[in-house]
Amino acid sequence: MTARSCLSIILAAGEGTRMKSATPKVLHKIAGLPMVAHVARAAEAAGAGDLGIVVGHGGEEVQKAAQGFAPEAEIFVQSQRLGTAHAVLAARAAIARGYDDLLVMFGDTPLIEAGALASARQKLAEGAAVVVIGFRTPNPAGYGRLIEKDGKLVAIREDKDCSDEERMISFCNAGLMAISGAVALELLGKVGNANAKGEFYLTDIVEIADRTGLNVVATEAGFESVLGINNRVELAEAEAIWQQRRRRSAMLGGATLIAPETVYFSHDTEIGADVVVEPNVWFGVGVTIADGALVHAYCHLEGASVGPRAEIGPFARLRPGAELHEKAKVGNFCEVKKATVEKGAKVNHLTYIGDARVGAGANIGAGTITCNYDGYSKFFTDIGEGAFIGSNTSIVAPIAIGARSYIASGSVITDEVPEDALAFGRARQKTLPGKGKELRERFASAAAAKKAK
């Protein structure tokens, strides 16, 4: 397989009107990644070397997105929507280079697995000219049937054109196809448009190839793998299937998910062995969880890394740039953004740490805030190793808090604190005996007067 060259063409020109969205259909996301990018990843995993994406008129958004997930992909424009075969021929220049294999996929089938594509390519390597990927379903109504004879595929029959006997067939067309590069342009060129819609259908090459004596076969993929997305309901169904797969993979890889159905992963989530994830946790894009970490319930992580045996939550939020080292702890109702919490440091509760370093072994008291933003710019706070920050402290950046220093509770710290120092940043308390009673009586009188009006 590795010696065979391959061009993968992803058809992404559909308008997706049933999505009722200004966003192109193939750019709607599953697990934080556009559907078309999932298809590109599957092709890459199946050994497809080069990638072409066919977009429609005004497909600049898809082209721009492709620069992120497949920067080497060639973009081809189908200026008129005249059918699937016509769309494939938009990439004629690439096909003409003479690849061994040609894979044709759709940008709205995000659950396609690399194994199904690899199996189709294997059939090409064994001598098939055309390989159609199909699926079986107990309810085939509405799907095109794969008509086989003596182990070969001879036709794809649309449901409305099937005989009563053919309607009993449960092997259906998924639309995805592999074609021998040696005959691809010849077969595509013979596709006509003598049909009700006047379009050029890719499925017609099955009968064309069979008539010319070429070997045409079908391979089978799971129904879920070839699920096409046409509306928001199906998008949600695909998301659920993807999440179920990923949860299973995480658990088989050594992670414990207490309530798997309540944990949501992104396409790039990395989760190690002996990780424990409690219920209702969301992993956004760019999250890495190292071995032995504990993620308590109701946490939200995005663009963050959690080190070995670190602990977060419950109700913690790690925003992009949050980096927890080994045995670090970020507790309940804490938020960390673009900050490093070093080995063994504790940010236990009701705290915001942003644009900062919390040194190894430091302790951050409840209600502490790094005041990192002045409305125009962000500033950095450096908290040294072993420092103790008392509860309800505001640290005004830019500032450095020395190692092993001690900040008194309730302080507003605006100046640098040296190592081993004790710092107070609060006004001296003043107590006025009896003034509390006097104040309450005044407020009560004013409230009564207001109510009487």
User: Are 361 and 386 within 8 A, CB to CB?
Assistant: yes
* Beta bridge pairs of residue 76: 54
Q: Would you state the structure tokens that stand for residue 20, as one six-digit string?
A: 């009722």
The DSSP secondary-structure symbol of 161 reads G
For residue 266, which of 248, 286, 236 has the smallest C-alpha distance? 286
Measured between its terminal Cα atoms, the distance across the chain in Å is 89
User: Are 200 and 86 within 8 A, CB to CB?
Assistant: yes
Catalytic residue among 86, 300, 325, 349: 349
Nearest-angstrom CA–CA distance, 282 and 236: 16
Q: What is the largest CA-CA distance in the chain?
A: 106
For residue 229, which of 434, 14, 56, 405 has the smallest C-alpha distance? 14
Residue indicated by tokens 């007067």:
449
User: Are 312 and 297 within 8 A, CB to CB?
Assistant: no
Question: E-strand spans in 19-144?
Answer: 29-30, 33-34, 50-56, 74-78, 101-106, 130-136
Distances (CA, A) of 358 to 201, 292, 364, 393: 62, 21, 9, 14
H/E element, 400: strand 399-401
267 as an active site residue: the answer is no
- Any idea which residues carry the catalytic annotation? 349
